[in-house]
């Protein structure tokens, strides 16, 4: 651990100077900047190429710091923070005046989250203030789950990277709004609407892609500003295909294909190799069969697939296990990764 405090001291200096520092979290790496500095946040939008209407999550060291960026900290927020923080839950509350409009896409609410990574908690404490932290990728592309993914995306003169090892969760936090006395999941994640509902003592609505709806309601752009249908996408064309259709889909391709599959060989109707590897023009990436393992590996697998420059990336449809929130979140991300250029 030698050298880590020094890294944090350098990172704090950079942040104070309005520069960007990528930090590790339990979900994905974040692109950090001083959340209360208009100019620093502007830099984040520029470097990421992010549309200005898509608001940023503000990262805090705990509930006390969260209250500083919130105009109101409802009882629901208190309960959720007490149960899930530090952890992969972003809570949307009314924003305080001190939060620049650019952070929230000019909207009245702010998303706050206390991430669970010792290095980043130490950074937040040492900096002593909130940090914006969108996923540290170019807008629309695959989120980074390792420090090298961030280094590949940005020039180190623009972005210092704090290396905290690979992310254990692998997909972005659940975003839940508790504004106006309603509780609504705006983005699915490892923390499920049902568990949030248990903590709040009432049913929680789902306004994300509709993949995980107990009470489906269409979110207006103002409520769920960043939920573009195409997101988390590799550069190559990617499709989600049921296991039984993989053979015909790759048969129609003229070039190389990468198949990302979680199915065990004996369950798969296609003659794919039992391990990751190549047969003819098809390269197979075998995923963990458990939902958490799959989530942790998904973005790295998409990157590996992309690096082969295939004609097509074929992702075998993840299980539709309505009782398993992690599979539902995984399906949400795979849907977005394969949604073509319909979004941003």
164 to 27, 117, 293: CA distances (angstroms)? 12, 8, 19
Rounded Cα–Cα distance for residues 189 and 106 (Å): 25
Site for ligand TXA in 30-49 (CB under 6 A): 30
The site that binds Mg ion (CB under 5 A) totals a number of residues, namely: 1
Residue whose CB is less far from ligand TXA, 89 or 291: 89
Report what 116 binds from ligand TXA, Mg ion, none; CB cut-off 5-8 Å by kind. none
- Please tell me whether the peptide bond between 86 and the residue prior to it is cis, using omega within 30 degrees of 0: yes
Rule CB under 6 A: choose which of 92, 121, 146, 313 binds ligand TXA.
Answer: 92
Exposure string for 77-107, b = 16+ CB within 10 A, e = fewer: beebbeebbbbbbbbbbbbeeebbebbbbeb
Rule CB under 6 A: choose which of 11, 15, 20, 25 binds ligand TXA.
Answer: 25
Contact status: 115 vs ligand TXA (CB under 6 A)? yes
Stretch that binds Mg ion, among 133-141, 159-167, 179-187, 199-207 (CB under 5 A): 133-141
Smallest separation (angstroms) from ligand TXA to the CB of 174:
8
Contact status: 109 vs Mg ion (CB under 5 A)? no
Rounded Cα–Cα distance for residues 249 and 7 (Å): 48
Helices (H), 174-226: 193-200
Contact status: 186 vs ligand TXA (CB under 6 A)? yes
Rounded Cα–Cα distance for residues 282 and 169 (Å): 29
Binding mask 284-323 for Mg ion (x = CB under 5 A): ----------------------------------------
Rounded Cα–Cα distance for residues 29 and 327 (Å): 21
Rule CB under 5 A: choose which of 25, 116, 135, 317 binds Mg ion.
Answer: 135
Contact status: 276 vs ligand TXA (CB under 6 A)? no
For residue 63, give the H/E element and its range. helix 63-69
Rule CB under 6 A: choose which of 21, 28, 40, 119 binds ligand TXA.
Answer: 28
Residues 297 and 168: beta-carbon distance below 8 Å: no
Rounded Cα–Cα distance for residues 59 and 41 (Å): 13
Rule CB under 6 A: choose which of 86, 130, 164, 226 binds ligand TXA.
Answer: 226
Closest chain position to ligand TXA (CB): 226
Exposed / middle / buried, residue 68 (Cβ in 10 Å: 0-12, 13-18, 19+): middle
Q: Rule CB under 6 A: which residues touch ligand TXA?
A: 25, 27-28, 30, 54-57, 88, 90, 92, 104, 107, 109-111, 113, 115, 133-135, 172-173, 175, 186-187, 224-227
Q: Rule CB under 5 A: which residues touch Mg ion?
A: 135
């Amino acid at each position: 651990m030698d050298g880590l405090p020094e890294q944090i001291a350098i990172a704090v200096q950079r942040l104070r100077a309005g520069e960007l520092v990528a930090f590790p979290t339990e979900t994905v790496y974040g692109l950090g900047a001083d959340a209360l500095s208009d100019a620093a946040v502007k830099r984040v939008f520029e470097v990421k190429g992010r549309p200005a209407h898509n608001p940023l999550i503000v990262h805090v060291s705990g509930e006390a710091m969260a209250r500083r960026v919130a105009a109101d900290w409802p009882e629901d927020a208190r309960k959720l923070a007490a149960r899930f923080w530090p952890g992969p839950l972003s809570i949307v509350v009314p924003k305080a005046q001190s939060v620049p409009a650019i952070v929230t896409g000019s909207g009245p609410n702010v998303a706050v989250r206390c991430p669970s990574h010792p290095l980043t908690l130490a950074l937040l404490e040492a900096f002593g203030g909130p940090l914006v932290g969108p996923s540290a990728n170019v807008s629309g592309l695959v989120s980074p789950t390792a420090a090298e993914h961030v280094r590949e995306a940005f020039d180190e003169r623009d972005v210092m990277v704090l290396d905290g090892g690979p992310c254990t969760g692998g997909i972005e936090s659940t975003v839940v709004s508790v504004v106006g006395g309603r509780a609504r999941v705006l983005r699915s994640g490892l923390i499920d609407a049902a568990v949030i509902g248990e903590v709040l003592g009432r049913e929680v609505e789902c306004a994300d892609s509709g993949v995980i709806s107990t009470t489906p309601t269409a979110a207006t752009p103002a409520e769920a500003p960043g939920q573009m249908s195409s997101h988390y996408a590799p550069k190559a064309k990617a499709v989600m295909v049921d296991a039984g259709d993989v053979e015909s889909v790759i048969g129609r391709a003229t070039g190389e294909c990468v198949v990302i599959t979680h199915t065990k060989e004996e369950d798969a109707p296609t003659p794919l190799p039992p391990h990751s590897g190549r047969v003819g023009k098809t390269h197979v990436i075998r995923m963990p069969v458990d939902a958490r393992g799959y989530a942790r590996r998904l973005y790295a697998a998409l990157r590996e697939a992309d690096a082969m420059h295939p004609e097509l990336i074929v992702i075998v449809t993840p299980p539709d296990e309505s009782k398993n929130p992690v599979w539902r979140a995984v399906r949400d991300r795979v849907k977005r990764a394969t949604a073509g250029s319909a979004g941003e």
